[in-house]
Amino acid sequence: SALNGKKIQLLISDTGGGHRASAISIRDQISALDPSVSCDIVDVYTTYCKVFPFNSYPDLYKLMVTLFDGVLWKLFYEGGDTDPGLWFNQLLTETFCYSEFKKCLLRPGLNLDPSLKDGTEKYSVPEDGGRPADMYVSVHPLTQSLPLKILQETKVNSPFITVCTDLGSASQSWFDYRCDKIIVPTEVLREKAVRTCRKFMMRDSLMMTSTPKEYDTEKVEVIGLPIRSGFEPSKDKAEYKTDLNLDPSKPNVLIVGGGDGMGGIVETANACISSLNGLASVTVICGSNAEAKKNLEGLHGSNGDVLVTGYTPSMPSYMNSADLMVTKAGPGSIAEASVCGLPIIMYSFLPGQEEGNISLVEEEGWGKYVKDPAEIGRLAKVWLEDGEGIEKRKERARKGGRQEAARDIAKVLLEELELCS
């Protein structure tokens, strides 16, 4: 292949499960399209940074989204998304993580060396810049600004592309006008990306740190949210149910709280089980929330209509066995449900970040946000009993589904790599 031996660094931070999942789906599709290109996924903050809080983002994120019902997260997220908030965060990251980020971006090979943690590894850049990696792809809102600055200062001219993995709303920090391309999943985010890039380009030209130009809106492309393969149904729903030992003659309600089983999953599951009372089977996926799993198993273990499980790699099978999903409004889960044609009731969301996901699904007419567990249980029953209504919702869900997004993104990345070679 013309791209033989090319290297791509995919930059993430493991806050939530979605960024790594999307990065993996892109890497897998690149390997399928051109096995001679190698990709490396790296959580820059935990692998390289030594200073708190930068080296503890994933744990802090988990803590903040659960503490005080998400209020702390809301303040942090909304404050950080203002122009002064962005500026301040960039200043701190630059002050405390500049040399660590530089080490990551400029390492000559792609494979992570365990000795990196103690900073003993050597890296070098040719005098004229050159290309330690042939392309950089950011799959996180906090791996844009500083990497772009470092690459510019070290004269590394490899293309830098952002793949945004939020859906209906996203922080401004995702969108940096210096990126060669920004790939977004929805029209709402395309508009936000263009607006944000224009604004900061204008600011920088007024501050004389860049020459005044019109932002090239063609740089922003709507493709879809990259998800793993296998969500597109390949057999009848009844078969998926039988495979999971569920009664194929009954509807099945799936309850999920993202990768971490968050946001009152126990109360929500209990309310649904009691409202549906044998009318439907109920499957609860607790993700990494071991306490919720233990609790629900203790309460419903002997009930033949209830299936409780912890983290599962078989999400496509679970989603395709379901007729309705009760879920946290996470972008990954919503994009996957859409491909499965699975209507949803959203019972929780991350303030700021996931609010737009709710409006998106409600506007498309295949899901609804309900907070109160008893009301969720009641609505699940009403929807399942209205056979025609649920079929319409399934159809509307399927309409926006884009199983092929990861493959299409991989194609764009390889095209860009070829153009810049």
* Sheet with 344-348, edge to edge strand ranges: 306-309, 281-285, 252-256, 324-328, 344-348, 367-369
Q: Residues near 70 by Cβ (< 8 Å), separated by ≥ 6? A: 350, 351
Judged by CB under 6 A, which stretch of 10-18, 28-36, 50-58, 74-82 contacts ligand UDP? 10-18
Is residue 16 within the footprint of ligand UDP (CB under 6 A)? yes
| Least Å from the CB of residue 92 to ligand UDP | 24
Q: What letter does residue 301 receive in the DSSP assignment?
A: T
| Least Å from the CB of residue 254 to ligand UDP | 11
Tell me which H or E stretch contains 345: strand 344-348
C-alpha span between 320 and 309 (Å, rounded): 16
Judged by CB under 6 A, which stretch of 11-19, 69-77, 153-161, 298-306 contacts ligand UDP? 11-19
Site for ligand UDP in 290-349 (CB under 6 A): 311-312, 315, 330-333, 336
Burial class (CB in 10 A: 0-12, 13-18, 19+), 230: middle
Site for ligand UDP in 135-154 (CB under 6 A): none
| Least Å from the CB of residue 252 to ligand UDP | 16
| Least Å from the CB of residue 259 to ligand UDP | 4
CA separation (Å) from 110 to 14, 104, 316?
19, 9, 31
Residue closer to ligand UDP by CB (options 73, 177) is 73
Tell me which H or E stretch contains 344: strand 344-348
Residue closer to ligand UDP by CB (options 134, 260) is 260
The answer to whether 18 and 48 have CB atoms below 8 angstroms apart is no
DSSP string of 199-254, one letter each residue = HHHHHHHHTTSS------GGGEEE------S--S--S-HHHHHHHTT--TTS-EEE
| Least Å from the CB of residue 314 to ligand UDP | 8
Residue closer to ligand UDP by CB (options 197, 406) is 406
* Count of positions on this chain that bind ligand UDP (CB under 6 A): 18
Q: Which of 58, 132, 147, 258 binds ligand UDP (CB under 6 A)?
A: 258
Q: b/e map of 108-125 (b: 16 or more CB within 10 Å)?
A: eeeebeeebeeeeeeeeb
Residue closer to ligand UDP by CB (options 132, 233) is 233
The answer to whether 150 and 101 have CB atoms below 8 angstroms apart is yes
Q: Which residue is nearest to ligand UDP (CB)?
A: 330
Residue closer to ligand UDP by CB (options 158, 252) is 252
| Least Å from the CB of residue 337 to ligand UDP | 9
| Least Å from the CB of residue 367 to ligand UDP | 13
Residue closer to ligand UDP by CB (options 54, 231) is 231
| Least Å from the CB of residue 26 to ligand UDP | 14
Is residue 168 within the footprint of ligand UDP (CB under 6 A)? no
The answer to whether 224 and 405 have CB atoms below 8 angstroms apart is yes
Is residue 21 within the footprint of ligand UDP (CB under 6 A)? yes
Proportion of the chain in helix, strand, coil states, percent, rounded to 5: 50, 15, 35
DSSP string of 153-189, one letter each residue = HTT----EEEE----S---GGG--TTSSEEEESSHHH
Is residue 263 within the footprint of ligand UDP (CB under 6 A)? no
Is residue 269 within the footprint of ligand UDP (CB under 6 A)? no
Judged by CB under 6 A, which stretch of 15-23, 32-40, 300-308, 358-366 contacts ligand UDP? 15-23
Q: Which of 9, 10, 18, 161 binds ligand UDP (CB under 6 A)?
A: 18
Instruction: Give the tokens for residue 278.
Output: 């044998």
Site for ligand UDP in 30-69 (CB under 6 A): none
Q: Residues near 223 by Cβ (< 8 Å), separated by ≥ 6? A: 183, 184, 185, 402, 405, 408, 409, 412
Residue closer to ligand UDP by CB (options 38, 295) is 295
φ/ψ (deg, to 5) at 160: -125, 120
Residues that bind ligand UDP (CB under 6 A): 16-18, 21, 256, 258-260, 285, 287, 311-312, 315, 330-333, 336
